[in-house]
Amino acid sequence: MTNLLTMRLLAVGQRSETVRRANLSAIVRELHDRGPLSRSELVTRTGLTRSAIRGLIGELVAAGLVAEERSLSSGTPGRPSPVVRLASTNAVVLALEISVDSLAAAVVGLGGDVLDLVRVDRPRSHLSLERTVQDLLDVLERLAPPWREDDRLIGIGVGVAGIVRRSDGFVALAPNLGWRDVALGRQLGEALRLNVPIAIANEADLGALAEHRRGAAVGSDNVLYVAAEVGIGGGLIVDGRPLTGAAGYGGELGHLPVNRDGLACGCGAIGCWETEAGEAALLRRAGHPTDGGRAELDAVLREAASGAPQAVRAVLETGRWLGYGLAGLVNVLNPGLIVLGGLFGRIHPFVAEVLAEELEARALPASRDLVRIVPATLGSDAPLIGASELAFEPLLADPAGWLRRPTSQPQRASA
């Protein structure tokens, strides 16, 4: 559809400006996704001509978005091609995360450099939206200050452990935070008073985005990301693009019903996947208090590693239920890759075999034979990294809008 839309714009007389914008986007996105590239590599990757690359990079250099430097000789004959890199500190985003047991903030530069990151643990008690926003402001104060300078801040991305409407950051439900129908987007905007867009999404959706851009799922177009933190969150990449659903609520894998005679879930339903495969289920089976948080989880995993029978059985049974749900999702979605995050990434070494058995028993062979299951690689900061990617998206889609100096091109088409 984008294709047609672009073509229509072209046809009504904004041809060269639209092409220029799309080409700038292609260059900045390549550099953002892959890191510094030589001009020759950019020619190869974008399909643009050498002279077009030169001109567009000139614009980006003038605007301070990229820098060029002579490369060292690569050993091949001929003049070395200059290396182009993003000026990561000149365009930065704030990434924020509201997790059940911590708050975090990071300053991330264009290209994905994490310039500063602060994470503050907090108790798993239900705190009000107002209190949480205030606590987030306190976390922000602890970040190194340069992101406030000049106009370098281009956007804010926020991950939250809840079900979020993408259009305005309204949180419909965050059972593990104790929130229902809270206007996080509006309140955060009023509290931060920074004149840049705020984009808010579910933290597992952002974990999926992060693993797809920078982690275990780079290069995979159909990805199922599933992470257990307190609940089970998930994010789907379909044909290379995040699945959001009709309003941004997609990917609530934890609330797939798996046991009609199961336990009550925080969402109000019975026998959701997270009641059988989530953190509390593991703690319960291992005979640990289910409200013990990370310390108890660490203890169970230590016991399992040392072969304590109840802990081993608890981990395996939890792995079976993980596999039970995964099998259904494999049949529905035919992913090429499953990325296990949070607790699931940690138990992966213990449960790889029972996962394979569950998929063998329940997933269709055609889909099962295609899918690989791997642990996430970005660790617990994945949602924060995903939040930064969300905040960069408008710049990546149209860097021309961020160029500060007027160019020789007419700017009528700006929007």
Site for a copy of itself in 321-360 (CB under 8 A): 324, 327-329, 331-336
Scanning 153-161, 238-246, 284-292, 299-307 for contacts with a copy of itself by CB under 8 A, the matching segment is: 238-246
Q: Please, which residue, 142 or 241, has the CB nearer to a copy of itself?
A: 241
Torsion of CA 153, 165, 338, 298, to 10 degrees: 80
Binding residues for a copy of itself, total number by CB under 8 A: 74
**In the range 31-70, which residues lie near a copy of itself by CB under 8 A?**
46-49, 52
User: C-beta of 354: minimal distance to a copy of itself in Å?
Assistant: 14
Q: Does 318 bind a copy of itself (CB under 8 A)?
A: no
Dmax (CA) for the chain in angstroms is 72
**In the range 91-150, which residues lie near a copy of itself by CB under 8 A?**
none
Q: Does 259 bind a copy of itself (CB under 8 A)?
A: yes
- The amino acid present at 115, given as its one-letter code, is L
Scanning 64-72, 124-132, 148-156, 242-250 for contacts with a copy of itself by CB under 8 A, the matching segment is: 242-250
- In the numeric block, which tokens belong to residue 37? 């590239």
Q: Does 295 bind a copy of itself (CB under 8 A)?
A: no
The only residue of 39, 152, 165, 285 in contact with a copy of itself, by rule CB under 8 A: 165
| Whether the Cβ atoms of residue 387 and residue 104 lie closer than 8 Å to each other | no
- In the numeric block, which tokens belong to residue 168? 């305005």
Q: Does 234 bind a copy of itself (CB under 8 A)?
A: yes
Q: Does 264 bind a copy of itself (CB under 8 A)?
A: no
| Whether the Cβ atoms of residue 97 and residue 104 lie closer than 8 Å to each other | yes
The only residue of 63, 93, 100, 173 in contact with a copy of itself, by rule CB under 8 A: 173
| Whether the Cβ atoms of residue 126 and residue 161 lie closer than 8 Å to each other | no
Report how far residue 182's alpha carbon sits from residue 179's, in angstroms, rounded to the nearest whole number: 7
The only residue of 215, 251, 342, 345 in contact with a copy of itself, by rule CB under 8 A: 251
Assign residue 268 a region (left: φ > 0; alpha: ψ between -120 and 50; beta: otherwise).
left
**In the range 367-406, which residues lie near a copy of itself by CB under 8 A?**
367, 370-371
Which of 357, 408, 402, 366 is closest to 32 using CA atoms? 402
Q: Please, which residue, 116 or 221, has the CB nearer to a copy of itself?
A: 221
| Whether the Cβ atoms of residue 394 and residue 155 lie closer than 8 Å to each other | yes
Q: Does 240 bind a copy of itself (CB under 8 A)?
A: yes
User: What does DSSP say about strands 153-160 and 198-202: parallel, antiparallel, or unpaired?
Assistant: parallel
Q: Please, which residue, 93 or 253, has the CB nearer to a copy of itself?
A: 253
Which of 49, 42, 63, 41 is closest to 19 using CA atoms? 49
